Structure 1
Amino acid sequence: DKLIKLNKQLKTVIAPREAEALQHEIATVTSERSLLDDRELELMGVVEIAELKKNELSPLQATAKSVLAAATMALSSAKQKIDAEISALTEQRSAQALVVAPSLMATYEAKRKHRPDGAVCRLTGPTCGSCHLDISQGEINAMRLMPAEELPECPHCGSFIVF
């Protein structure tokens, strides 16, 4: 230890100036040691508080991990169900496309490119289910009177209308 070494050296010094320099160095080392001891105590307090916080939060972390695991499993299950439903609907769509006239299918696909949320919608009251704009009663009546081979379309967005 440096302090012990300096104290031993001080006992063997005869010259007053050298003794004074050693005493100054001893005071400096003692002051530094005191500051370091204070800092160590402060850090020990911080560590103690951190340990308490860690112990307080550990059960919450375990709970959060189990909730996350359950949510991940639920999400995975939901994704599998959605993928299966998409597959089934794709098969249904392919089967239905075989009985629809190719020209009508081409028109539908063209509309679908412009309206990715759907090219066919339901009429709810006087409101188009696709663009949510009202259609006049006269236009609705004209759509209802159309021949079966013609498909009614929304005058605003062009989506096919289903009554």
Structure 2
Amino acid sequence: MKADPAVQRRLLDLADVDAELTRLAHRRRTLPEHAELTGAEAAVRAGKDKLVETETAAGDLDRDIRRLERDVEGVRVRTARDQQLLAGAGVGAKQATDLQHELETLARRQRFLEDEQLEVMERREALGIDLDHARSVLAEAEQKLSEITARRDTALLDIDAAEAGRRRARAELVAALPADVLAAYERRREQGGVGAAALRERRCGACRLELDRTALGALRSAPADEVVHCEECGVILVRTKESGL
């Protein structure tokens, strides 16, 4: 295949652009924010689970407190009724005894309920501290997630802008290359990732190996417009003043 040396040198520009696009794609895949986001999202999920668990426990205690309040109020109502009956006229001795016994039972019941109510309220107060902590932890985790997401998005926007510029440059270079030369370059790039490289100081710029005497002799004798390849990696070798031939 023949190609003017100037055309071959444009392949080096194209290879540089493709290398930069490859680096940008690698950077996109390996942004540290990706791993940070995974951890931050896990922290938010854990924070939400803990908050739901704590809120559920608090709700259960709130229901217990309301139930105990109703029970205590019911005992108080019955106590007031019995006291009113006991103080009324026309109460016989047996009824008075029964009422007094019930009042004693109600008093014990009220003390038991009030003790239980106090215990539950103390537990609810302690759980309130846990609830505030769980909300604080979740808010902090969500804030961190938001900050990491913003950093990730900014980094991706920078990469997008750089890629857009490199793709425009690539389109201009491709448009100026002969179809057969471009096809050879693209085939090689698909096979090995690098389509063209400069020969510098008798070394291939792609595989970094120094060419032997036989290969160097063949390159010296090849016409300047002959498209040549590295015998080691197959890349299109572009000869320059730095080739050492």
Normalised TM-score (structure 2): 0.47
Relative to structure 1, is the Cα distance of residues 68 and 162 closer, same or farther in structure 2, using a 3 angstrom cutoff?
same
Within the alignment, does 1:46 sit opposite 2:122 as a pair? no
Q: Cα RMSD (Å) of the superposition?
A: 3.9
Deviations 1:67-111 (Å, cap 9, x if unpaired)? 927x7456435523431331232123112226xxx3x44433432
Matching of residues 10-159 of structure 1 within 5 Å: 10=79, 12=82, 14=98, 18=102, 22-23=106-107, 25-47=109-131, 49=133, 61=143, 65=147, 68=150, 72=153, 75-76=156-157, 78-97=159-178, 102=180, 104-115=181-192, 117-159=193-235
134 and 34 in structure 1: CA distance in 2 versus 1, 3 angstrom threshold: farther
Deviates more, 1:71-80 or 1:117-126: 71-80
Once the 2 structures are TM-superposed, how far is the Cα of residue 33 of structure 1 from its aligned partner?
Answer: 0.6
Residue pair 1:126, 1:137 contacting (<8 A) in 2 also: no
- Greater RCO, 1 or 2 (C-alpha within 8 Å, sep 6+): 2
**How many pairs are equivalent?**
153
Q: Note the C-alpha offset of 1:32.
A: 2.5
More helix, by proportion: 2
Work out whether 1:3 is the aligned partner of 2:72: yes
Identity between Structure 1 and Structure 2 (%): 20
| Cα distance change, pair 132–23 in 1 and its aligned pair in 2 (3 A) | farther
Please tell me the residue identity of whatever aligns with 1:34.
Answer: L
1:38–1:127: structure 2 CA closer, same or farther, 3 Å change rule? farther
TM-score, normalization by structure 1: 0.64
The whole-number CA distance in structure 2 between the counterparts of 1:110 and 1:48 is 62
SS at 2:229's partner residue? coil
> Aligned partners of 2:148, 2:208: CA distance in 1, in Å?
43
Q: Determine the C-alpha separation between the residues in 2 that align with 1:44 and 1:22.
A: 32
